[in-house]
Structure 1
Amino acid sequence: MPGGILVIDDDRALCDLLHEDLQQRGHRVWTALKAGQARELLDQHSIDIVLTDLNMPEMNGIDFCAELHQRRPDLPVIIMTAFGSLETAIAALRAGAYDFVTKPVDLDLLSISLDRGLQHRHLQETVRRLQDQVRRQQPDDDLLGESPPMVKLKQQISRIAGLDTSVLLAGESGTGKELVARSLHRQSQRSGGAFVALNCAALPENLLESELFGHVRGAFTDAREARKGLFVEASGGTLLLDEIAELPLSLQPKLLRVLEDHRVRPLGGSSEITCDVRVIAASHRNLGEAVAAGLFRSDLFYRLNVIQLELPPLRRRGDDILLLAMKFIQQLSRRFGKSVVGLAQPAAACLLAYSWPGNVRELRNTIERAVALTLHDTITVDDLPDSVRHPGDSAPLPLSLHDGQTIIPLEEMEQRYIQQVLEQLDGNRTLAARMLGVDRKTLYRKLKET
């Protein structure tokens, strides 16, 4: 991660060496020989991280770090010294230093430390920005997200919301299909009508038919009075049929007929009722594969799949993870009567590094647990469950152990796993190294072996 680095050392030759090396690594670099000159550079330029010597004229590095920590607590400071004692390291950390490196400086290890510091600063700025965005959020803005997949999804919603046609929402479980359906309804000409949602997997077949189409009195044993079905209740509005792949085959022709004719016959009834409903269907299963397997009617699939929206999984949404976490912290703090206001940077890094197989639903449950258990005003790493803090301990390898009948060598398996982790983290090597439990230098070496 490139950034603006201020190097402070009274050894001009070392300053020149670090200036040249860090510039070659893509950073903007300024150098100072003493604290007074460093203060001027800090006031004049956009500095992201400070690398300072311990022994300097005017003021030693620990005192300068303490001063800077008071003025700019968001600015990471790394202290260099030829005296790598434990006492010196502790003093540096107490003064607010982010890290501590010894001389002679290993340029590769220093680069790793600087990258971590820059990532730390970036996460701090991101957390603050997202906190501000959550505070500015409009009450009806449920679809939070600034990532490219979410920007694309919102644009698609805006384009099709006014089209009075069926929509199929596809994507993994927990990605927010009902929120998308509500957004489509709210932006449509049907927004004044009812929005009704039904999970097709939640009811047995006999109750599902009655729930959808209604029944007349005496239609079955417990039908003591007539009841309108959801198609009639949602008339003039929108009906979401969630987990549509679980709809029994016997009910699929009846649903198709309602979609085609806009008329519904209640269970046990002899007459039909006209209904004007926009149907949005959703499923985490691939309906095309269900059709091929004979589990879903092709004619109903084509009727529902006029327009399909693919919802992105949370692991593809980058900083949206933190934005959603902030929103949940805000909501759940009010609910629990607590004063939790945000995320500590290490906790934010853990959230970004985790793959979230349960998507937004899992994130919300994680934040609910953390808000309920934390003893602080910010969520820390210790407030997160072990599965999020140490994903490698419990996560199964997401790869097949063989291709056909050929066993894959261990080295190739390792490379495949590294590449998959990098793909899930959008190429962020710092977070990939953290998730894999290695330092960045080791990760770079392994990547060069490919």
Structure 2
Amino acid sequence: MPKSAEVREILHWVVAGRDGDHAFPAGVVERGWQPRLVTEADQVLGLLAGASPRCQVGLIDLRDCDRLGERGFGHILPALACGGVGWVAGISSGQLRMDRIRRLVLDHCHDYVVLPCHDDLLAMVLGHAYGMAGLGDCGGVGQPVAPRPEGMIGDSPAMQALYRRLQRAAMTDAPVFISGETGTGKELAASAIHRHSSRHAGPLVVINCGAIPESLVQSELFGFERGAFTGANQRKLGRIELAHGGTLFLDEIGDLPLESQASLLRFLEQGTLQRLGGHDDIPTDARIICATHVDLVAAVAAGRFREDLYHRLRVIELDMPPLRERGADIALLAGWALVRHGREGGGRTRGFSRDALRALHDHAWPGNVRELVNRVRQAVVMAEGPRISARDLRLDSRAYEPTTLSEARSEGERMAIERALLRNGHHLQAAARDLAISRVTLYRLMIRHGLRGSRLDAAGTG
């Protein structure tokens, strides 16, 4: 096969440094690929940013990845998350049975090959990944497709924008403020930031500020010394101290009492805390991520939340999109919920009926993803047939009948005639005058819409 007129680059990333296996297949080089070998994970981002022409395809050799461990995987993920690069995984036979490898390939790679493989097969797979990466770039217009963080579902434009912001947030230690309606997945977002950050080996400590009695919040966050109060028989470490080296996620931060707000602000500014009953300043390295569904701007104006703390927490702000704005993600999430909870119904349910899908897309979803999952789970148990209906989801199927533009116009015309007749005591001449049509036209329209002989016409023709 002749060389391609276009010089293309392939990044052959051998993460485990396999001896004697660094030479790229000659048959693939002959097809116009210009390989670059990188053996250290921390070199990848620099190469992707500085290569000219820029690398658009990457082959990552995962055959010896068992040596990496969790920290090694954490170094790989930022490079795999780079937009505009079509990653191909090189694996050994049977490796996809490993959950970690399977998830990495599904989330971050366009394709995979079992190495060693024939040059023709490798060239074909690389070419496909190259084309897909080009689609993501769109010639420099628009945004490349961002990989889904583990546990998050959806490919809508709103979620793609969120994924890109999550990636950027994970690259820093700055406080993150996550806002959004109830049930949009704020804790999932916090978990994704922690998992893809340099702190992923440390703990992720979660506390719901609205679920703790106000009198206990201070001791839960900052801990206490023995004898600090009646019943304090031994020292207890607080949640912030337990998150040392990792991340503390404060859910429903808007419910935090003012006293605890002052102590949290002090920790953020100084990096130290004092346990209740103690006098020592204890250095603690914990990143803060917080979330709320309430309007903190209004809470600040009302004096329920400290303005200085509000601005200190909002260094990076993420807004979780409501489900009603996520389009096709609704069906995707419903399918995921069906697979996850299908066994609870004895495995009888096979999918959704057409009226159920229409109802799912037209519902306002005030409870967002949490409401959707709960409705599907309930329907799985209660459905009588193999397919979940709108009724099984407790959604009104009558409101979701397909309507053409012609049908909508006809219904609007009928309603206008009915209202005009009612306003004018069913006198046709007066109703026709209101509608700016002739009496003959009104009579013809009444016949078309089946209104002659009804109670609307019972009072006479006028």
The TM-score with structure 1 as length reference comes to: 0.56
CA 237–322 in structure 1, closer or farther in 2 if over 3 Å, else same: same
Aligned to 1:233: 242
CA 446–283 in structure 1, closer or farther in 2 if over 3 Å, else same: farther
Post-superposition CA distance 1:280-314 (Å, at most 9, x none): 11011121121112111110001000111111100
Which aligned pairs between 1:349-360 and structure 2 lie closer than 5 A? 349-360=358-369
* Helix, strand or coil at the partner of 1:188: coil
Q: 2:342 aligns with which of 333, 357, 369?
A: 333
Which aligned pairs between 1:191-270 and structure 2 lie closer than 5 A? 191-270=200-279
Letter in 2 for 1:368: R
Deviation at 1:206, TM superposition (A): 1.9
* Helix, strand or coil at the partner of 1:280: strand
CA 350–137 in structure 1, closer or farther in 2 if over 3 Å, else same: farther
Aligned 8 A contact 2:208 2:252 in 1? yes
Aligned to 2:193: 184
Q: For 1:334 and 1:273, locate their aligned partners in 2 and report how far apart those are by CA, in whole Å.
A: 49
Q: Which runs of 5+ in 1 are unaligned?
A: 1-133, 393-430
Instruction: Select the structure of larger CA radius of gyration.
Output: 2
* Helix, strand or coil at the partner of 1:330: helix
Q: Which runs of 5+ in 2 are unaligned?
A: 1-102, 108-147, 417-462
CA 290–337 in structure 1, closer or farther in 2 if over 3 Å, else same: same
Letter in 2 for 1:366: R
Q: 1:322 aligns with which of 301, 317, 331?
A: 331
Q: For 1:285 and 1:391, locate their aligned partners in 2 and report how far apart those are by CA, in whole Å.
A: 34
Aligned to 2:155: 146
Aligned to 2:396: 389
Post-superposition CA distance 1:297-354 (Å, at most 9, x none): 1100010001111111000001111111111111112455534332222211111111
The TM-score with structure 2 as length reference comes to: 0.55
Q: For 2:252 and 2:406, locate their aligned partners in 1 and report how far apart those are by CA, in whole Å.
A: 45
Deviation at 1:250, TM superposition (A): 1.8
CA 256–336 in structure 1, closer or farther in 2 if over 3 Å, else same: farther
Aligned to 2:168: 159
Aligned to 2:301: 292
Deviation at 1:442, TM superposition (A): 4.3
User: Root-mean-square deviation (CA), in Å?
Assistant: 2.5
* Helix, strand or coil at the partner of 2:221: helix
Deviation at 1:390, TM superposition (A): 5.5
Taking every aligned residue pair, what percent have the same amino acid on both sides?
Answer: 42
CA 444–190 in structure 1, closer or farther in 2 if over 3 Å, else same: farther
Aligned 8 A contact 1:381 1:389 in 2? yes
Q: 2:373 aligns with which of 364, 367, 382?
A: 364
Task: Provide the aligned length of Structure 1 versus Structure 2.
Answer: 271
CA 319–215 in structure 1, closer or farther in 2 if over 3 Å, else same: same
Post-superposition CA distance 1:196-226 (Å, at most 9, x none): 1111111112211111101112222232221
* Helix, strand or coil at the partner of 1:144: coil
Deviation at 1:269, TM superposition (A): 1.4
Aligned 8 A contact 1:354 1:391 in 2? no
Q: For 2:239 and 2:253, locate their aligned partners in 1 and report how far apart those are by CA, in whole Å.
A: 15
Q: For 1:179 and 1:227, locate their aligned partners in 2 and report how far apart those are by CA, in whole Å.
A: 28
Q: For 1:197 and 1:191, locate their aligned partners in 2 and report how far apart those are by CA, in whole Å.
A: 14
Aligned 8 A contact 2:251 2:291 in 1? yes
* Helix, strand or coil at the partner of 2:391: helix
Q: For 1:373 and 1:196, locate their aligned partners in 2 and report how far apart those are by CA, in whole Å.
A: 37
Q: For 1:287 and 1:188, locate their aligned partners in 2 and report how far apart those are by CA, in whole Å.
A: 27
CA 285–267 in structure 1, closer or farther in 2 if over 3 Å, else same: same
Aligned to 1:373: 382
* Helix, strand or coil at the partner of 1:169: strand
* Helix, strand or coil at the partner of 2:374: helix
Aligned 8 A contact 1:215 1:227 in 2? yes
Q: Where in structure 1 do 4 or more consecutive aligned residues deviate above 6 Å? A: 445-449
Letter in 1 for 2:396: R
Aligned to 1:302: 311
Q: For 1:186 and 1:159, locate their aligned partners in 2 and report how far apart those are by CA, in whole Å.
A: 13
Q: 1:441 aligns with which of 386, 403, 406?
A: 406
* Helix, strand or coil at the partner of 1:279: strand
Post-superposition CA distance 1:66-113 (Å, at most 9, x none): xxxxxxxxxxxxxxxxxxxxxxxxxxxxxxxxxxxxxxxxxxxxxxxx
Aligned 8 A contact 2:356 2:397 in 1? no
Aligned 8 A contact 1:217 1:223 in 2? yes
Deviation at 1:140, TM superposition (A): 6.8
Aligned to 2:286: 277
Letter in 1 for 2:312: R
Post-superposition CA distance 1:17-71 (Å, at most 9, x none): xxxxxxxxxxxxxxxxxxxxxxxxxxxxxxxxxxxxxxxxxxxxxxxxxxxxxxx
Q: For 1:147 and 1:391, locate their aligned partners in 2 and report how far apart those are by CA, in whole Å.
A: 27
Deviation at 1:377, TM superposition (A): 3.4
Relative contact order (C-alpha < 8 Å, sep 6+): which is higher? 1
Q: For 1:268 and 1:232, locate their aligned partners in 2 and report how far apart those are by CA, in whole Å.
A: 15
Q: For 1:183 and 1:274, locate their aligned partners in 2 and report how far apart those are by CA, in whole Å.
A: 26
Q: For 1:215 and 1:336, locate their aligned partners in 2 and report how far apart those are by CA, in whole Å.
A: 47
Aligned 8 A contact 2:359 2:396 in 1? yes
